[in-house]
Amino acid sequence: MKGLQVNRWAILLLALAGLTGCGGGGSDSDSTEVPKSNTPAPIDTSPEAFNFEHKTEQPLTTLITSNLVKVTGINSSSPISITGGEYSIDGGTFSNITSTVNDQQSVTVRLLSSASYSTSSDVIITIGDVSETFSVTTHSNLTKFAHELSTDHDARYSIVNQPTRGRVVVSPDLKKLTYQAMNSFDYLQEGETTQETIQVTLLGEEENNTYDLSFTITGLPNTSVCDDRTIIDLVPNEVNQPLPHIPEGSCVRVDASSLNNGSSWAIWTGENGGARPIMLSVIGVDKTDSTLTFLPPTDGRYSLSWCPVTGECLVSFQFYSDMPNTKKELNVALHVLSFHPEDEIYLSVTEKNHADTAGYTYRWVIHDWTGEHHKLVDILTTENKLKLPVSLDNNNYNIKVVVDDNIVQLEGGFSSVSNGLYGKIKLDANTIGNYETLSDFVAIRDLNSNQKAPSLVVMIDGDATRYQGNKDMPIVIKAIKDSQLTFDLSETSDENGDNLRYYINGALYENSSSRITFSVTSSTYYTICAIDGFPWTSEENPCLLFDVIAQ
């Protein structure tokens, strides 16, 4: 009996040991572990969807590159092919040969844009079984990129002459311009066309190397602003006749159809009666149309005359408009960033009162100095900033910007002349609205330069005084009327040994003897400067001012 009992315990222990070996010890699960499978996942070469951003207003006949897309959703190399262009993987060489691409690699595509205006070109890329199109549309005939006129892909505009009708706006990087007709051609019938031509120059090219750009403007379906307004027919004004007042919101009509047709309208505005030919463009009329109907854009006095090409005008119409007054003061400031060679120069204008500047334009006129003042840039932008190209040398930039809010005023436009160290700078501006002119001066200097300014010494025949150094006040010289006054500059020197030239009253004088003679006919001033080819400022290289009193 004991033996039998022992055997039973042995059997029980063996059973427990079997359960432990099968994972049953301490486990609440009655399931049996399934061995891991070594079967590989199916090959997937079909990527997740991707897309390219289509581009419009692109230059003609130019390689245009897409945005970058990343390949995702594949676990094996996937075939890549392209039609109509080339692709690049991870920034590598562009190619149109079928190849493969892997997961997480980046792809860009490019194509050559059309040689025609407003024309689309497509490139289709296929990765695995997914295809996507990148589309490029060229600009209209109203846009022109600078590099389309040059072999230099980085070409920039320098001087862009403004048309008499409409305006030409340049991008802040100087690389693109666009003609904007505004409402200058509202008189055109639908489908009727006309042309406007301007001249431009490119940075780095000779001033006389100009390009003619022509823009075709097509009439659009539109209605006249006067269709639903009262139209007042004006009659020619008699001498001493009071001028009529046109109520706010009313249009006027002037009719010279009974007179010689070989004429055009001229317009004068404001109390001073200044000629304002741009006003005809602003109100959108054809100056050769003998009958004009328009809404006066602002308050004030208007005078329109029907005039032949030569001779006196045939008839005149004058009136006052009682439209609201829109004059205001602008509150703007100019900022300049960067003053060293090989740095780009950034210019910007800010409105101090945070007014709405959506309609503002900015006329940038910039002169540099290359032995004399030279107009470097003369362009119009609708953005409040400008990026000038890198200056590889020491240079001076004289910067002027005319800020115009384009809210029509009757009195606008001006011509100014400012005296620089080595000459005069002229600015002609044809403004439309309230405007302000801002100025700044940038001296671009290499801080490691050892260049020294000339040491100017002036002596006068009959006077033993050596005049030199920076003089805050004019040097008074008394001279006999109708005598000769000789300035002796022979003791002027240059530490760097540079050849010297002299400017007197902004005019260049080159005299090997360094003696310059003038006849004293009346009292006058002479400003004498010595230059050595370096663009010194008046603070760095002071001139001497002589006040000559004729006795």
DSSP E strands in 8-147: the ranges are: 55-58, 63-65, 69-70, 78-83, 86-89, 99-101, 106-112, 120-127, 130-138, 143-145
pLDDT above 70: residue 25: no
Instruction: Grade residue 422 by pLDDT with cuts at 50, 70 and 90.
Output: low
Instruction: Give residue-wise pLDDT tens across range 264-306.
Output: 999 999 988 888 988 999 999 999 999 999 999 999 999 999 9
pLDDT of the residue at 148: 95
pLDDT of the residue at 349: 96
312 or 424: which leads in pLDDT: 312
Instruction: Give residue-wise pLDDT tens across range 534-549.
Output: 888 878 888 899 999 9
Question: Which two tokens mark 244?
Answer: 């009529």
Instruction: Give residue-wise pLDDT tens across range 126-137.
Output: 999 999 999 999
pLDDT of the residue at 158: 96
pLDDT of the residue at 34: 58
pLDDT above 60: residue 43: yes
Instruction: Please give the Cα distance from 58 to 433 (Å, whole number).
Output: 32
Backbone torsions φ then ψ of 194, nearest 5 degrees: -150, 170
pLDDT of the residue at 286: 93
**Taking a C-beta distance cutoff of 8 angstroms, is the pair 369, 422 a contact?**
yes
pLDDT above 50: residue 8: no
pLDDT of the residue at 15: 43
pLDDT of the residue at 2: 40
pLDDT of the residue at 501: 86
pLDDT above 70: residue 471: no
Q: Which of 254, 447, 423, 426 is nearest to 343 (CA)?
A: 447
Instruction: Grade residue 36 by pLDDT with cuts at 50, 70 and 90.
Output: low
pLDDT of the residue at 35: 62
pLDDT of the residue at 10: 43
Average pLDDT over residues 230-246: 92
Which residues sit opposite 159 in a β-bridge?
A: 201, 378
Say which residue the tokens 């025609």 belong to. 116
pLDDT of the residue at 395: 82
pLDDT of the residue at 17: 45
pLDDT of the residue at 220: 87
Q: What is the dihedral of CA 496, 501, 505, 508, to 10 degrees?
A: -150
pLDDT above 50: residue 432: yes
Residues 6+ apart with CB under 8 A from 275: 266, 267, 268
Q: What is the dihedral of CA 171, 172, 175, 176, to 10 degrees?
A: 0
* Beta pairing, strands 315-321 & 245-246: parallel
Instruction: Give residue-wise pLDDT tens across range 312-346.
Output: 999 999 999 999 999 999 999 999 886 666 677 89
Q: Which of 424, 453, 466, 467 is nearest to 537 (CA)?
A: 453
pLDDT of the residue at 240: 82
Q: Which of 458, 454, 422 is nearest to 546 (CA)?
A: 458
Say which residue the tokens 């001006």 belong to. 414
pLDDT above 60: residue 375: yes
Average pLDDT over residues 439-449: 83
DSSP string of 446-484, one letter each residue: -TT------B-EEEETTEEEEEES--SSPEEEEE-TT-E
Q: What percent of the chain has pLDDT over 90?
A: 65
Instruction: Give residue-wise pLDDT tens across range 47-69.
Output: 999 999 999 999 999 999 999 99
Which residues sit opposite 332 in a β-bridge?
A: 351
Where would I find the H helices in 263-317? 278-282
pLDDT of the residue at 505: 87
pLDDT of the residue at 540: 83
pLDDT of the residue at 1: 43
